[in-house]
C-alpha cells in the first residue's frame, strides 16, 4: 500500500472571530474521510509569524529565525494544500500572503485547492489573486473551488453550508488528490 497522501487545510485568517476555523474543520473532515488521505488543519495564527523578517530571500532556503524554520518544516511535510481564505478588499488577508512569502522551495511541485468565503463575490477575487501567487511558487492549482457566501452559508456566526457545497468540496478534493499524487512522483 502506498504512503498516505498528506493534505494541509491552511487557515488563511488570523482575525478574531474569524470564520476560517469552522470552514477549515468542515474541509478537514471531508478530506480525512477519503481512503489514503491524511488531512490536517494548519493554522497560520499558531505560528505567530511577524511581518517577513528574514534577511535573505526565501529562494535561498537559508532561514535565520526559528519561527521560519518551524513554518518551513510544517509546509514541506505536505503533498498538497487547501487554502481556506476570506476575501479582504478583493484579495487575500495580509497574514496569509506574509506566511506564503516566508517560504519558497517548500511549496514547489505540489497542488492547491481553494475554499473561499465573503460577501457578494464569495471570496472568488481572493482566490484569483491566490492562484497567481501559487503559479509563481510552482504550485498546481486545481480548477474546482468552493466559494461560500456570508449570506447563504452562514447563519450569523454559525457555519451552515448549503447542501450542495459538499458536492463542490468533493469535486475540488477529487482534483486536488489526483494532482497531489501525480506531483509526488515529480518530487521523488
Q: What is the predicted pLDDT for the residue at 120?
A: 86
Q: What is the predicted pLDDT for the residue at 48?
A: 96
Q: Phi then psi for 54, rounded to 5 degrees? A: -80, 135
Q: How far is it, in rounded angstroms, from Cα 109 to Cα 137?
A: 8
pTM of the model: 0.97
Q: What is the predicted pLDDT for the residue at 136?
A: 97
Q: What is the predicted pLDDT for the residue at 99?
A: 98
Q: Phi then psi for 122, rounded to 5 degrees? A: 55, 30
Q: In CATH, which of 3.10.105.10, 3.30.70.260, 1.10.3370.10, 3.40.50.360 is domain 5-187?
A: 3.40.50.360
Q: Where are the domains of the chain?
A: 5-187
As beta bridge partners, residue 139 has: 110
How far is residue 1 CA from its own chain's centroid? 27
Averages of pLDDT over runs of 10 residues in the chain (188 residues) are 90 96 98 98 98 98 98 98 97 98 98 96 97 98 98 94 98 98 95
- What letter would DSSP give residue 148? E
Name the one residue in this structure whose C-alpha cell is 487557515: 11
Instruction: Report which of 31, 14, 20 is spatially closest to residue 175, judged by C-alpha positions.
Output: 31
Find the helix or strand (DSSP H, E) in which 163 lies. none
Amino acid at each position: 500500500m502506498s504512503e498516505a497522501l498528506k493534505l494541509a487545510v491552511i487557515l488563511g485568517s488570523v482575525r478574531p472571530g474569524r470564520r476560517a476555523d469552522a470552514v477549515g474543520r468542515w474541509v478537514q473532515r471531508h478530506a480525512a474521510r477519503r481512503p489514503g488521505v491524511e488531512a490536517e488543519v494548519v493554522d497560520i495564527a499558531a505560528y505567530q509569524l511577524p511581518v517577513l523578517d528574514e534577511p535573505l530571500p526565501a529562494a535561498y532556503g537559508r532561514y535565520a529565525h526559528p519561527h521560519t524554520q518551524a513554518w518551513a518544516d510544517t509546509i514541506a511535510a505536505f503533498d498538497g494544500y487547501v487554502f481556506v481564505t476570506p476575501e479582504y478588499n478583493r484579495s487575500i488577508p495580509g497574514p496569509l500572503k506574509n506566511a506564503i512569502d516566508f517560504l519558497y522551495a517548500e511549496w514547489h511541485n505540489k497542488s492547491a485547492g481553494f475554499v473561499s468565503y465573503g460577501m457578494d463575490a464569495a471570496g472568488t477575487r481572493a482566490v484569483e489573486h491566490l492562484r497567481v501567487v501559487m503559479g509563481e511558487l510552482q504550485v498546481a492549482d486545481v480548477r474546482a473551488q468552493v466559494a461560500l457566501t456570508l449570506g447563504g452559508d452562514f447563519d450569523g456566526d454559525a457555519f451552515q453550508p448549503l447542501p450542495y457545497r459538499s458536492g463542490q468540496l468533493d469535486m475540488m478534493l477529487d482534483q486536488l488528490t489526483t494532482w497531489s499524487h501525480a506531483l509526488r512522483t515529480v518530487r521523488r
